[in-house]
């Protein structure tokens, strides 16, 4: 318990932080929070200043390991949900597995007797790419159940004017995307980094956490998706898009500043009102596990998740261990400085081997992306060498024959302990895209539940078991040592787009 007490003293923070880093609530308001002593002992009271809190029973949290189980879970829940299905993803694929998923939703809607409501939020550019596309896959639901089904397509306000008219499909996606991965079924939440497409259902490794019987948390995420859907374009039965009936700012035809300001206010007012309610009336529910939803929408000026992540890096106890995973290694400069110069924790970083990168073999400039990420990893590795941090910071690459890698998040383990007490899981990759361009969300799970802690350890060990160290020897290999000159130039010019 001495470690817990020290952690609590180090990490406590008196004020609730606004999305741009300003203090919005006083210390007195913070003291009104009714927080269990059990949670306080873990030392993460400061999380309440950044995000709302939802206590849950740790035995109701399931860590899923395999993509095929993720798929089966999503399909089964879509088939059996009684009140609501809310799906937020980058896109929906167009293959046989995706057809079965849509069929499960359709069958449930037909049998529900108008009791079931379905909301789908995708990215406009990614969801409109090619033929067929995500929009075409969902049109049958809109045609059959127009009063029960809503499909929203987020369009970045940055893609406008000449860029909107001239940038080709696929390349226009680099400017900003709807990247949240939230799958809601009644009062159960499945949060992941995985999209709804064939690779993510078969041989693309990601992370998936299912939280059951978590009504308040499910309500929060349903409300979040609803608010993003309001400033997204609405798909109609004729495959046309239009503004939501409650929204007046067009994402690329109107004034960019007005759209961004109104959209930011729509999301942040929702988050802050939830926090204010908890401060005034206490946190409802009990449990041995606490969930903090975190949102990052850099283009809208909302930086909640990155503030929390940076603080975790910088306030970690000496002797603690942070295992950090990302499918695309491109840490922001702030994260890099925090890890190398301002963190007392040891780090084990897991990233994709070039053969496990989803862009391997892609046509055109996209084919150089695996080499670009090697260059970025090499630059970070050299920085830690210069700083003398090679022992404290270890790097590794996920490599599994026939598989690609997309898992991200972190696991935090206290000094002298073996089981993690905190994990971050969701859509952010800890890179410039996640912080500056895309709409992201992940949850911080803080737990005292021994079974859940063990499951998180097993999840982490399964991922790292398929890894090999990233060292000086790695970078001396011929296929790593000589990246094409144009890739070097692209990384210098377009790093913030990766």
Q: Do the beta carbons of residue 288 and residue 449 sit within 8 Å?
A: yes
The Cα–Cα gap between 18 and 304 comes to 8
Return the active site residues. Answer: 179, 181, 186
d(CA 352, CA 470): 11
- Long-range contact list for 232-236, CB < 8 A, 24+ apart? 232/121, 232/124, 232/152, 232/153, 232/154, 232/155, 232/178, 233/124, 233/152, 233/153, 233/154, 233/155, 234/150, 234/151, 234/152, 234/153, 235/135, 235/138, 235/139, 235/142, 235/151, 235/152, 235/153, 236/142
- Write the CB contacts of 230 (distance below 8 Å, at least 6 apart in sequence): 244, 246, 247, 266
Q: Which of 187, 265, 184 is nearest to 225 (CA)?
A: 184
Asked if 167 contacts 204 with a C-beta cutoff of 8 angstroms, the reply is no
As a whole number of angstroms, the distance between CA 444 and CA 434 comes to 16
Give the phi and the psi of residue 235 in degrees, each rounded to 5: -85, 135
DSSP string, 409-435: EEEEE-TT-SS-SEEEEES--SBHHHH
DSSP letter for 327, please: S
Q: What one-character DSSP code corresponds to residue 12?
A: -
Nearest to 464, CA basis, from 361, 415, 394, 413: 394
What are 322's two structure tokens?
Answer: 């942070």
Token readout for 223 is 């409300």
Q: What is the tally of helices (H) and strands (E) in the chain?
A: 19, 23
> Backbone phi, then psi, for 415, in 5-degree steps?
-55, 135
How many Å apart are CA 192 and CA 210, to the nearest integer? Answer: 9
Closest CA to 294 of 217, 205, 392, 401: 217
DSSP annotation of 346 reads E
């Amino acid at each position: 318990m001495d470690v817990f007490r020290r952690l609590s003293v180090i990490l406590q923070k008196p004020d609730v932080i606004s999305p741009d880093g300003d203090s919005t609530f006083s210390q007195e308001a913070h003291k009104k929070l009714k927080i269990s002593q059990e949670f306080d002992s873990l030392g993460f009271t400061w999380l309440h200043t950044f995000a709302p809190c939802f206590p849950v029973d740790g035995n109701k949290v399931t860590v899923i390991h395999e993509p095929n189980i993720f798929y089966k879970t999503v399909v089964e829940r879509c088939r059996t949900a009684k009140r609501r299905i809310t799906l937020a993803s980058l896109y929906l694929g167009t293959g046989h597995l995706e057809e079965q998923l849509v069929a499960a939703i359709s069958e449930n809607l037909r049998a529900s007797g108008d009791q079931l409501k379905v909301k789908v939020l995708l990215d406009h550019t990614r969801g409109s790419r090619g033929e067929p596309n995500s929009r075409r896959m969902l049109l049958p639901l809109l045609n059959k159940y127009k009063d029960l089904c809503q499909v929203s397509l987020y369009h970045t306000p940055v893609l406008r004017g000449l860029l909107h008219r001239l940038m080709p499909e696929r390349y226009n996606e680099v400017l900003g995307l709807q990247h949240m991965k939230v799958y809601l079924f009644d009062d159960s939440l499945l949060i992941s980094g995985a999209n709804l497409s064939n690779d993510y259902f078969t041989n693309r490794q990601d992370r998936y956490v299912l939280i059951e019987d978590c009504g308040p948390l499910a309500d929060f995420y349903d409300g979040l998706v609803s608010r993003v859907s309001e400033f997204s374009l609405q798909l109609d039965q004729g495959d046309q898009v239009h503004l939501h009936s409650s929204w007046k700012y067009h994402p690329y035809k109107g004034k960019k500043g007005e759209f961004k300001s109104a959209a930011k206010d729509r999301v942040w007012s929702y988050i802050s009102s939830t926090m204010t309610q908890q401060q005034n009336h206490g946190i409802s529910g009990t449990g041995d596990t606490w969930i903090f939803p975190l949102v990052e929408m850099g283009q809208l000026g909302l930086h909640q998740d990155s503030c929390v992540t940076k603080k975790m890096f910088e306030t970690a106890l000496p002797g603690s261990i942070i295992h950090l995973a990302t499918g695309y290694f491109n840490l922001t400069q702030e994260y890099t400085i925090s890890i190398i110069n301002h963190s007392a924790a040891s780090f084990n970083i897991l990233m994709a081997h070039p053969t496990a990168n989803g862009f391997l073999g892609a046509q055109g400039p996209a084919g150089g992306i695996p080499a670009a990420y090697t260059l970025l990893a090499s630059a970070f590795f050299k920085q830690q060498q210069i700083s003398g941090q090679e022992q404290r910071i270890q790097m590794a690459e996920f490599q599994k024959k026939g598989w690609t890698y997309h898992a991200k998040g972190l696991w935090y383990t206290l000094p002298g302990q073996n089981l993690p007490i905190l994990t971050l899981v969701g859509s952010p990759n800890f890179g410039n895209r996640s912080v500056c361009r895309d709409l992201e969300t992940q949850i911080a799970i803080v737990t005292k539940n021994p079974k859940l802690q063990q499951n998180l350890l097993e999840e982490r060990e399964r991922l790292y078991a398929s890894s090999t160290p990233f060292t000086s020897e790695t970078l001396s290999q011929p296929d790593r040592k000589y990246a094409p000159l144009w890739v070097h130039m692209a990384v210098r010019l377009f790093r913030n787009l990766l």
